[in-house]
Structure 1
Amino acid sequence: MPVHEESFAAGTPCWADVMVGDLENAREFYGRLFGWTFEDLPPEAGGYVMARKDGHAVAGAMAKNPDDPSQADTWTVYLAVDDVDAAAEQARSAGGVFFLEPMDVLQVGRIAVGADPTGAAYGLWQAREHTGSELVDEPGTLVWAESMSRDYPASKAFYADVFGYRLREIGDADFSYSVALLGDSPVAGIGAIPAQAPADVRSHWMAYFAVADCDAAAEQVRALGGTVRQEPSDTRYGRVAVVAGAQGETFAVLQRQ
């Protein structure tokens, strides 16, 4: 079991959490889909819930504020940073904005949430007691994350500038996509939203969770009240499906080769 206890290198997707209108529904959905159990944190955590796999923290969940109609049912990917305040300032200088300014989260870390210049929302996480996902490369854990953009050149420039990514193009004439490298290690992807995608598909970050069987996971999503947005298909990295939870929050499942 690959347990990850140390801090993630700056720029690495290290955590993901979901915000939904019905938190109990989400607990049931993801508990059955991924085998997660859920830990209710102390009241000062504001209702945040920790999802665990085999006892290890792997994701978070929270309820939307019913008084804030701007909040959506969505997954948020967090990128590790050594200094949230410095990273946020650099992101602003590169054209980013922030909805949640840098702030401490109890004693576990420091956080900020914003969007890149194309509108894709993401979070920054400076680890203290909580380093991020404690389990990797196992079914039910965050295994990949990518920024899909309506302005591919702008996204590449932003993430290379702010996080120091070295970008390696792996796409083709029909699909623009780069792997983001820290040193020689691939940590994330940046891609162009295909022209044939519906107009309402905006720039976004996509969280991928590992599964043992992509087709079975997609069918289970349907059985649990979710939807399959893109049917399972083979890629050079494994079999992938894009799905949505019962409340419409989109994510992907990946069966590694």
Structure 2
Amino acid sequence: MTALPEGSPCWADAMFTDVEGAKAFYGEVLGWTFGESASEFGNYTQAYKDGKAVAAVVPPMPGEEGPRSAWCLYLASPDAAATAQKVRDNGGEVLMGPMRVDDFGTMLIARDPTGVTFGVWQAGVHEGFEASGETGTYCWAEIFTREPERSDAFFTSVFPYRARRMVSDEVDFVALQVGENTVLGRLKMSDQVPADAPPSINLYFGVDDCDAAVERATRNGGVLRFGPQTTPFGRLAAVSDPQGASFVLLDTGTTAGGMPEWKDA
């Protein structure tokens, strides 16, 4: 692997009070296996799909009482300290770091002005996903916010994104590009979203059959939040795992016609 371009999604992890329960759930739903816990790094445990690293799970740090489980997406940076300064300069907040993690790389956790939390990763020997865009792996993510203009201004200032807006009267959706590659989406939260739902970055994991994956998720204690629904991009469903971490299952093999038009945002 080579390091990904700045702003590209490169890694994902989540904190769980019940790590063994999380491993069992994602093993059943996405076919993940897990490596040995790294005790020197807070029992951080990598997940694998077909022998390739695709994500990680970790228990809370000592002293943390029952944090809300949620997936965190990391965006690539050639200089985490410089990115941290851009976060601050553009109205965001650095919550943790920059912190060097042995020779694996340097990380920080940040929050945009609308409340969206995300990670930044400056690669060392760990350059990120060993597989993505495949069954059982990360395949897409969307910034989910109630204040799209503020979020768009922030992310396009911190990272070298070009914003392209979907031509639609129904949804407010922007695609963020690095060069010619679309790497991330931004979706305005609708009025139907519960008022207590926090802004976030929604991670999508690829599956061969969305409906079958939903059945596996609910059978193993997950909760269906939306769908399954067939869209121009694939059949998808939003679910939460038994500990409350939300994600989207996406089957790109079943798509509806009529791809959307785009314009510069």
Provide TM-score, normalisation by structure 2.
0.93
Match of 2:188 in 1: 192
**Contact in 1 for aligned 2:142/2:184 (Cα 8 Å):** yes
Between stretches 67-76 and 196-205, larger displacement belongs to: 67-76
Match of 1:155 in 2: 151
1:239 matched to 2:235:
yes
Q: Aligned residue pairs: how many?
A: 253
**Contact in 2 for aligned 1:64/1:72 (Cα 8 Å):** no
* Equivalent AA in structure 1 for residue 75 of structure 2: L
**Contact in 2 for aligned 1:171/1:178 (Cα 8 Å):** no
SS class of match (1:40) = coil
Match of 1:38 among 22, 34, 37: 34
Match of 2:59 in 1: 63
1:134 matched to 2:134:
no
In the TM superposition, what is the alpha-carbon distance from 1:42 to its structure 2 partner? 3.2
Match of 2:119 among 104, 123, 140: 123
**Contact in 2 for aligned 1:113/1:122 (Cα 8 Å):** yes
In the TM superposition, what is the alpha-carbon distance from 1:171 to its structure 2 partner? 4.9
* Equivalent AA in structure 2 for residue 96 of structure 1: G
Match of 1:256 in 2: 252
In the TM superposition, what is the alpha-carbon distance from 1:40 to its structure 2 partner? 1.6
SS class of match (2:82) = helix
Cα distance in 2 between the residues matched to 1:196 and 1:27: 32
* Equivalent AA in structure 2 for residue 194 of structure 1: S
Cα distance in 2 between the residues matched to 1:69 and 1:170: 41
**Contact in 2 for aligned 1:78/1:124 (Cα 8 Å):** yes
Match of 2:24 in 1: 28
Q: 5+ unaligned residues in a row in structure 2: which ranges? A: 254-265
SS class of match (2:201) = strand
Match of 1:100 in 2: 96
* Equivalent AA in structure 2 for residue 123 of structure 1: G
Cα distance in 2 between the residues matched to 1:95 and 1:72: 24
Cα distance in 1 between the residues matched to 2:127 and 2:97: 20
* Equivalent AA in structure 2 for residue 38 of structure 1: F
Match of 1:89 in 2: 85
In the TM superposition, what is the alpha-carbon distance from 1:244 to its structure 2 partner? 0.6
Cα distance in 2 between the residues matched to 1:57 and 1:243: 23
What is the root-mean-square deviation in Å for CA atoms of aligned residues? 1.2
**Contact in 1 for aligned 2:175/2:184 (Cα 8 Å):** yes
Match of 2:14 in 1: 18
Q: Percent identity?
A: 38
* Equivalent AA in structure 1 for residue 227 of structure 2: E
Provide TM-score, normalisation by structure 1.
0.95
Match of 1:51 in 2: 47
